[in-house]
Chains A and B, each alone.
Chain A
Amino acid sequence: MGLQRYHRGRGLKAPTLLAAAFLWLSQAAAGSEIHGRVVDINGRPLPQAQVLFDPPEPAVGASVITVFSDTDGGFRFPGDHDIPAHADLPLSVRALGFRLIDRIDNKEGNSLNVTFVLTAEQNQAAVAPASAWLERIEDPRVKSGFVMDCVDCHQVPAPEVRDYAAAIADLGADDPALARAHSWNAIVKYMNYLSAWEFSRGSRAAGEKLDTDAVYSVNNGEQVAALLSEVFDDRLDSISGYDRGAPIIANANTVIWEYEIPRPNAVREALLLGDPPRLWVADVSTNRMFGIDVKTGEQVISEVPADVPMGPHSLHRGADGSLWVTPLFNGIIGQLDVDAGTWQTWRLETDDGKVPGIHDLSFGYRHELVTDDDGNVWFSDIGNTAVGYFDPRSGKAETWPAPPSPGRPGFAALYGFIVTRDGGEAWYSQLANGTFGGFDIAEKSYIGPFQLEDPNAGPRRITIDDEDVMYIALYGSGQLMAFDTKAREMVGIYDLPDTGSAPYSATWDPVREVVWVVTSNGDVIYRFDPRDQSFGVLPMPRQQAFMRMLDVDPESGVLVTSYANIVENVHGPRMALIIDPGDGAYPMKFSPEAP
């Protein structure tokens, strides 16, 4: 395979870029520090505000770096940065319930000291997450159903959804309720069409049209449209009183490095692997993986060798540091040697002719790929509602259909997947019917199934700790579930601080001994401490942080995740990101800044 190299760009025209770069470099003083304070209108410090630095092109390293203010309001960006002599550095600040009213720059030699002055603002619409608006839905069962129906591919209400609510209001219709009913009904049909288009991409012939009548009418569209009309009955431009619901865990040492992925793309998951360390990012709209050097920002594209669409989707860290990729289409699994740049691929088909729809491979408690005693890789098969394995030496694959969930017919979406510490059992979740269960690998027999009370609980990605307690993110109900796989009993089901946040995945952190819970609709990562069942909140630096899987780098303990906005008409960020929680829990310090 060949690696295609280019430098990142963010849509600026080349001459503009070059001119800006020349101006910037000619005026910059190298080796300079950026620090400062965040205060309120009375000069009182504002702790835990986010300060964002968006280095102009061409910059090295991350697209945007974010730090948090300390208890005295102070902040400091890691490393040295070029500071222009005659231009404002592109810094911004955000804090829920506040807005910027003044900024005071003081040059101190080569360094820059910036004071941000904020004032309280009742309208939180510029900072609050999409989930804040879902507090309008009081019935938890209605809310979980709505999240499962609408938040699968993008946030609701994303800014574009809010803009559409305003567009309906702007119609000035004689009967606003009728206009809302018609318009939200059309949007639901439209989204059903986009979804059908996307998920038939791997098998649809060129130029083949979808049957609109068929795709418009899937599921409970009219019910969803009725709820949208009822709940989103205004311009959706003002919200107040939203609370994160748990303490913010960020401190003065917390850093978030965000790396923008060149568009067009449909970013899914990201992992940090290799030497030099690169963020490997899946683009499910193609067969591509992006590899971003975290120090230089240089990007490579590595194509999964396949002559059909495969759509890299879920990523897994191999025990040898390789990258394992599962597909959206056509049963193709890829393994990339990230240093050599070479792929090995398998196109799976069972002896009885089934093509597995592989979602996850077998994660162990270190959140890396584990094999069974025979060297087989196990997987969840969302396409056939099954559990199976393949032998990487022969490519042989075998699957076992999962037992039905009593009283819950229809598509199950067998989704997340982990293996117990001794490798004896695999456990899976079923997203679409609120069910989970286990599989005895030696006996080839199922354990369970176990049902959650709410069929729309939405059990998604799974993790397991080193004592075989399994944690599942419950997307629909906004909860975290803990289940003891040895005792076969529920430890607890915990409401997240925001139950509209749509938790996509849970990842056990073996050093911190906590569970990281990544949300798709809440712009936050939660930290769950099983010792006291408490939650902490780590807010992301932007709205539409539609996150998916999270990996904890085993050496430095940084968190690696991505913003995976996959719907073109929802223009959220498409980034991979690295987060140092700033707790010093791991002996090795991660630092992508130039020495």
Chain B
Amino acid sequence: MNRYRRRSPVVIAATMFLIARVAAADNGADLVDQARCYACHHMTDNSLGPPYRAIALRHAARRDVMLEVLARKIVHGGGGNWGLVPMVPNEHITLEDARTMAAWILALADE
């Protein structure tokens, strides 16, 4: 019996996706820190804004759509979802970086 099994393209793609996701998560965590998001958001506790984990859990079912929504929310700010305080815009953050940050937040639902 041939024990050697060629790794299928699907497995390779999945592995690469995982690596990319882990990298994005690490990078996203750094970006969140550098952008001083902790001024308003904590991991699990309420602060000026909702905790990251709560955001992730609320949007877990619609992660694909919410990645783009959250990225734009990071850049443009706005309010109405979590209470009476509008989020400040962060227009100095690129949409690309905002997507990485949003991916990191949404991935917290898995932890």
Interface residues of A (CB under 8 A from B): 160, 163-164, 167-168, 170-171, 173, 178-179, 182-183, 186-187, 189-190, 193-194, 197, 207, 209-210, 212, 264, 568-569, 571
* Residues of chain B lying within 8 A (CB to CB) of residue A163: 89
Could you give, for residues 69-102 of chain B, a 1 whenever the CB lies within 8 Å of some chain A CB and a 0 otherwise?
0000000011110011110111110000000000
Distance (Å) between the CB of A226 and the closest chain B CB?
16
Tell me whether A194 and B88 are in contact (CB under 8 A): no
* Residues of chain A lying within 8 A (CB to CB) of residue B88: 160, 164, 187, 190, 569
Q: Does B42 contact A (CB under 8 A)?
A: yes
Tell me whether A168 and B92 are in contact (CB under 8 A): no
Complex formed: what's the CA distance from A179 to B88 in Å? Answer: 15
Instruction: Please report whether the interface of chain A is mostly helix, strand, loop or mixed according to DSSP.
Output: helix
Distance (Å) between the CB of A446 and the closest chain B CB?
40
Could you give, for residues 28-57 of chain B, a 1 whenever the CB lies within 8 Å of some chain A CB and a 0 otherwise?
000001001011101000011000000000
* CB within 8 Å for A173 and B84 given contacts A160-B89, A186-B48, A190-B48: yes
* Residues of chain B lying within 8 A (CB to CB) of residue A183: 79, 84-86
Tell me whether B48 and A571 are in contact (CB under 8 A): no
Complex formed: what's the CA distance from A39 to B25 in Å? Answer: 58
* Residues of chain A lying within 8 A (CB to CB) of residue B85: 179, 182-183, 186
> Among the listed A160, A182, A568, which residue makes an inter-chain contact with B83, where contact means beta carbons less than 8 Å apart?
A182
Complex formed: what's the CA distance from A171 to B81 in Å? Answer: 10
Tell me whether B40 and A171 are in contact (CB under 8 A): no
Tell me whether B86 and A197 are in contact (CB under 8 A): no
Tell me whether A209 and B79 are in contact (CB under 8 A): no
* CB closest residue in chain B, given A569: B88
> Among the listed A167, A178, A194, A207, which residue makes an inter-chain contact with B86, where contact means beta carbons less than 8 Å apart?
A167
* Residues of chain A lying within 8 A (CB to CB) of residue B86: 164, 167-168, 170-171, 183
Complex formed: what's the CA distance from A178 to B89 in Å? Answer: 21
Tell me whether A190 and B40 are in contact (CB under 8 A): yes
Tell me whether B38 and A171 are in contact (CB under 8 A): no
Tell me whether A212 and B79 are in contact (CB under 8 A): no
* Residues of chain B lying within 8 A (CB to CB) of residue A197: 36, 39
Complex formed: what's the CA distance from A179 to B85 in Å? Answer: 7
* Residues of chain A lying within 8 A (CB to CB) of residue B84: 171, 173, 178-179, 182-183
Given contact pairs A160-B88, A212-B42, a sample of 5 additional A-B residue pairs in the complex whose CB atoms are under 8 Å apart? A164-B86, A164-B88, A183-B79, A194-B36, A212-B38
Complex formed: what's the CA distance from A572 to B101 in Å? Answer: 25
* CB closest residue in chain A, given B30: A207
* Residues of chain B lying within 8 A (CB to CB) of residue A182: 83-85
Interface residues of B (CB under 8 A from A): 33, 36, 38-40, 42, 47-48, 77-80, 83-86, 88-92
> Among the listed B33, B48, B92, which residue makes an inter-chain contact with A569, where contact means beta carbons less than 8 Å apart?
B92
* Residues of chain A lying within 8 A (CB to CB) of residue B92: 264, 568-569, 571
* CB within 8 Å for A212 and B39 given contacts A183-B84, A190-B88: yes
Complex formed: what's the CA distance from A190 to B90 in Å? Answer: 13
Tell me whether A167 and B47 are in contact (CB under 8 A): no
* Residues of chain B lying within 8 A (CB to CB) of residue A178: 84
A sample of 25 cross-chain residue pairs with beta-carbon separation below 8 angstroms, ordered by A number, consists of A160-B88, A163-B89, A164-B86, A164-B88, A167-B78, A167-B86, A168-B79, A168-B86, A170-B79, A170-B86, A171-B79, A183-B84, A183-B85, A183-B86, A186-B85, A190-B48, A193-B36, A193-B38, A194-B39, A209-B38, A210-B38, A212-B39, A569-B89, A569-B90, A569-B92
Complex formed: what's the CA distance from A207 to B38 in Å? Answer: 12
* CB closest residue in chain B, given A208: B33
Distance (Å) between the CB of A168 and the closest chain B CB?
6
Complex formed: what's the CA distance from A179 to B86 in Å? Answer: 9
* CB closest residue in chain B, given A192: B39
* Residues of chain B lying within 8 A (CB to CB) of residue A212: 38-39, 42, 47
Complex formed: what's the CA distance from A264 to B34 in Å? Answer: 14
Complex formed: what's the CA distance from A160 to B86 in Å? Answer: 13
* Residues of chain A lying within 8 A (CB to CB) of residue B80: 171
Complex formed: what's the CA distance from A178 to B77 in Å? Answer: 20
Distance (Å) between the CB of A19 and the closest chain B CB?
23
Complex formed: what's the CA distance from A168 to B77 in Å? Answer: 12
Complex formed: what's the CA distance from A569 to B33 in Å? Answer: 15
Tell me whether A186 and B91 are in contact (CB under 8 A): no
Complex formed: what's the CA distance from A190 to B39 in Å? Answer: 6
Tell me whether B48 and A189 are in contact (CB under 8 A): yes
* Residues of chain B lying within 8 A (CB to CB) of residue A194: 36, 39
* CB closest residue in chain A, given B40: A190
* CB closest residue in chain A, given B33: A207
Distance (Å) between the CB of B41 and the closest chain A CB?
10
Complex formed: what's the CA distance from A163 to B42 in Å? Answer: 25
Distance (Å) between the CB of A157 and the closest chain B CB?
14
* CB closest residue in chain A, given B48: A186
> Among the listed B40, B48, B79, B91, which residue makes an inter-chain contact with A167, where contact means beta carbons less than 8 Å apart?
B79
3 closest Cβ contacts across the A-B interface? A193-B39, A167-B86, A182-B84
* Residues of chain B lying within 8 A (CB to CB) of residue A179: 84-85
* CB closest residue in chain B, given A173: B84
Complex formed: what's the CA distance from A167 to B48 in Å? Answer: 16
Distance (Å) between the CB of A126 and the closest chain B CB?
19
Complex formed: what's the CA distance from A171 to B47 in Å? Answer: 19
